[in-house]
Structure 1
Amino acid sequence: MKIELEQVLPSQIEARSFEIIGRELEQMGKVLDPEQEPVIKRCIHTTADFEYADSLVFSDRAVEQGLKALKAGAHIVTDTRMGFSGVNKGRLEKLGGEALCFMADPDVAEIAAREGCTRATASMDKAAGLYGTGGPRERIPCIFAVGNAPTALVRLYELVTEGRLKPALIIGVPVGFVNVVQSKELILTLPDTPYIVARGRKGGSNVAAAICNALLYRI
C-alpha cells in the first residue's frame, strides 16, 4: 500500500487542521453557534475528539463574558502546572492579565495537610482569599480553568454558593472517573456564574488551556 503524505508548509499546518475539522463537522451535520464555534473547534484540534461538539455546554453569553473579562485584564487560575503552561501567557499579558497556579505553593500544601483535603481544594481557597469578597485582588476579574481536579470544581461551587467568590468565568473540564461528572453537573446549576463545561468524563488540562487560548485568540 502506497502512503501519500499531504504536503503542507509548517506555517499552514494549523490552518489546514481547522479546515479539516470544519469539513468533517459539516459532513456530520453539525451546525455550531458562531460564538461557541472557535472554542469547540480548538478543543477538537487539541484532542482530535469530535465529541466536544456535543459535550461542551456554555452558559448564556459565556464567551462574551469571558472575552469581556480578558479585555479587562483578567487573571487565569489553573488547577495544574500543565494547564498553566498551556495558556498563551504572551497574549494574556498584553491584555494586562496573568496566569497563575497555586498547586505547588508551600502554604497550599500546609493547608491541605492540616485540613485533610486535596491541594486542588486548598488552591481554590487561596484563590478565593485573593480574588473573593474582601480580597486584595477582588476587583481583578478571575477566570478559573480546571482541567484535572474535580475537587477544585466542587470547592468553586461551594465558594460561589456561599457568596465568597464571583468568578468571571469557570472553565470546568476535569478528566477522569471519581466525582468528575458530578462536579461538572454542580457547576451547571450555578445560575449567575458564566461557565464552559465539558459534560461527561472527558477533558484535561490541555482542553482547559485550549479553551483559554480560543478566547485569547479572539481578541
Structure 2
Amino acid sequence: MIDFILNPGQIETESMRIIRAGITRPWSEDEFPVVERLIHTCGDPSLEQVIAIHPRAIACGLKALKEGANVITDVEMVRAGISKEKLKSLGGSVQSFLNAPGVAEQAKEWGITRSMTAFRMHPESLRGSIVAIGNAPTALLEVLRLAENPETCPALIIGIPVGFVGAKESKDILWERQSIPSITVLGTRGGSPLAATVVNALIYTALKQLAH
C-alpha cells in the first residue's frame, strides 16, 4: 500500500517543495509564483523550459490588478477558472464576449472564428485590462492587432493558446512583440487551465502585497 498524504494543506506544501527542488532557471522573486503554479497545474516540470515572461509583465499585471483592471478571456473555460471573488475584492471582474449578442452571426459574415470576432466587436474593453487567452490562437492574433492602438492596448497579455494549428505561431509572434508585456508558454502546449492559473497567481500576489 502507498502511504498517501490526505491533508490538503500538506499535499500542496509537498507539491510545491517538489516543484521548487526541480527549478533550473533563475526566475525573479516576482516571477516565481507564476512559474510554480504553471508547473503545478500541468504536473510537468519540463514546462519550465518553455515558460516566457516579459521583463515588465509581472509589474504591469500587478499594477493593473491593484487599480481594478478587468480580465478579458477568450473562452468561458478560462473565465470559469479565475478566482472571481478575489478579483472582485481588487475592483475588477472577468469578462468573455464569446457568447455576446451578435458575435456568432458576425463571425459567419466575416468568415473568421467567434473568439476572434468577440474581441474585434469589443475593442474598447481591452484598454488597461489583462487579456487571458487559453484556447484560440486567432483570438491572440486579434488582440495583438488591437494592441497596436494605444486606445485598445491591454496592460498585459497572457497568451497560452493550445494546439497544433496556429498556437505555436501565434505565441511566437506575441513573444517577438517585446513592446507588449506578456506571459506565454512557447510551443504547442497551453490551454485554459494554464491561462487561468497565471491570472490567479497574479491576483493572489496583488492581494498579498496590498495586505502588507
TM-score by length of 2: 0.91
**Structure 1 position 163, deviation (Å):** 4.9
Distance 1:157 1:110 in 2: 23
Q: Give the Å deviation of 1:72.
A: 0.5
Matched, 1:152 2:139: yes
Q: Are 1:87 and 2:82 counterparts?
A: yes
Identity of aligned residues (%): 37
The letter of the residue matching 1:4 is I
The letter of the residue matching 2:53 is F
Match of 2:46 among 32, 36, 51: 51
- Is 1:40 matched with 2:35? yes
Aligned to 2:8: 10
Structure with more of its chain in helix, by fraction: 2
Q: 1:84 is matched by which residue type in structure 2? A: R
Q: Find the counterpart in structure 2 of residue 138 from structure 1.
A: none
- Aligned residue pairs, count: 206
Distance apart, 1:83 and its partner CA: 0.4
In the superposition, relative to structure 1, how do residues 93 and 10 fare at CA in structure 2: closer, same or farther (>3 Å)?
same
What is the CA distance between 1:76 and its match in structure 2? Answer: 0.5
Amino acid at match of 1:19: R
Structure 1 residue ranges (4+ consecutive) displaced by more than 3 angstroms after TM superposition: 129-132
What does 1:1-219 correspond to in 2, within 5 Å? 3-25=1-23, 29-132=24-127, 141-163=128-150, 165-219=152-206
**CA-CA distance at 1:86 after TM superposition:** 0.3
Computed over aligned residues only, the root mean square deviation of the Cα atoms, in angstroms, reads 1.6
Q: Which moved more, 1:36-45 or 1:180-189?
A: 180-189
Partners in 1 of 2:70 and 2:125 — Cα distance?
A: 11
Distance 2:184 2:5 in 1: 36
